Amino acid sequence: MANSRLEKIGTIYTRTRGLIQSGALQYTERPLWFDVYEAFPPKEEPRYDRPVPNMQIKEIFYEADKIRAQLHKNLGRVGTVHLLNQHTPSFTQKFIKTYKKLEGQYGAGQCESDQLYTEALDILKKEREAQMAESKDDLDGALTSAFKSATQEQNKSASGTLTSVNVKDLFKD
């Protein structure tokens, strides 16, 4: 029985069909792919001894792939990507967009790719620094307002305008 599981003895389809015909597997319990295989059988049966077709495999490269490869080669790690967040572009997507924008401004073939690469990186670094400065200002503002409100609360409690809080009252059901 174990020998029949080898890929050399029939295909997975013929073995499954044999199990159904012999009654070892109920037709209602057949795998999901079984109906698809019967509806759309392959042109050639996928056997292990089938000769490999002699055909040239086309290399598919987009322009963005070359830019992306250069970026990742030079920078190494470019940060993490949240795959579920489709609204915020990744660093690589921003870089490619900036690169294409610069290429459109200078015209195709007018400027070397190395120069476009460095300019795009400089632009993204400046944007990143501006974002960091803005978020630092926001954080400083938030901390300042939190400090002011805490100081006001402390002053109120010192002047006796706040009522004292009983710890036992906090944990009552």
- pLDDT tens for residues 54-104? 889 888 888 888 888 888 888 877 778 888 888 888 888 888 899 888 888
DSSP, collapsed to helix, strand or coil, labels residue 133 as helix
- Whether residue 155 is predicted with pLDDT greater than 90 in this model: the reply is no
What is the total count of domains within the chain? 2
Domain boundary among 19, 37, 55: 55
9 and 47 fall within a common domain: yes
Range of the domain at 141: 63-159
Q: What is the mean pLDDT of residues 17-23?
A: 94
Percent of the chain with pLDDT over 70: 77
Q: Does residue 42 lie within any of the structural domains?
A: yes
79 and 151 fall within a common domain: yes
50 and 67 fall within a common domain: no
98 and 136 fall within a common domain: yes
- Whether residue 1 is predicted with pLDDT greater than 60 in this model: the reply is no
pLDDT band of residue 133 (cuts 50, 70, 90) is confident
pLDDT at 30: 94
73 and 148 fall within a common domain: yes
Higher-confidence residue of 70 and 35: namely 35
- Whether residue 5 is predicted with pLDDT greater than 80 in this model: the reply is no
Q: What is the mean pLDDT of residues 133-146?
A: 68
Domain boundary among 33, 55, 77: 55
Q: Does residue 169 lie within any of the structural domains?
A: no
Helical pair 113-159 and 91-106, crossing angle rounded to 10 deg: 130
Q: Does residue 98 lie within any of the structural domains?
A: yes
43 and 11 fall within a common domain: yes
86 and 152 fall within a common domain: yes
Higher-confidence residue of 15 and 143: namely 15
Tokens of 153: 């609360």
- d(CA 17, CA 159) in angstroms, rounded, equals 87
Q: What distances in angstroms separate CA 54 from CA 12, 57, 170, one per listed residue?
A: 25, 9, 79
